[in-house]
Amino acid sequence: MHRSWRGIVADGLFVLPFFFILVGLAWVYMAYGAVPAVAGVLYGIKPAVVAIVLFSAYRIGSRMLCSGRFQHSLLLLYLLLNCLSQPLFWRWG
């Protein structure tokens, strides 16, 4: 299913429920975030969401580090930031 329309549809259907859950939680937070009971529940959900995001970032990052192209990009970024004292972002204006 890689690089086919079926793969794109499957990925979309996989991500879509989580998107709606996130939109729903954001709506609840914006509408009822000041209510102490809702604030307490959302406060309890935050560590779980952070843990899921960090674990996902770790898994994706560990796969990317195996790529030689990505390792060369990291080396170039390291040289620019540390050895040449160049800033990562330049200010305009």
Number of domains in the chain: 2
Residues 28 and 43 placed together within one structural domain of the fold: no
How far is 82 from 25, CA to CA, in rounded Å?
41
Whether the Cβ atoms of residue 37 and residue 20 lie closer than 8 Å to each other: no
Residues 71 and 49 placed together within one structural domain of the fold: yes
- The reported pTM is 0.50
Residues 39 and 5 placed together within one structural domain of the fold: no
pLDDT for position 8: 81
Residues 25 and 70 placed together within one structural domain of the fold: no
Write the pLDDT tens digit of every residue in 17-75: 888 988 998 899 899 989 999 889 888 888 988 898 889 888 877 777 777 888 888 88
Residue 93 clears pLDDT 60, i.e. is over it: no
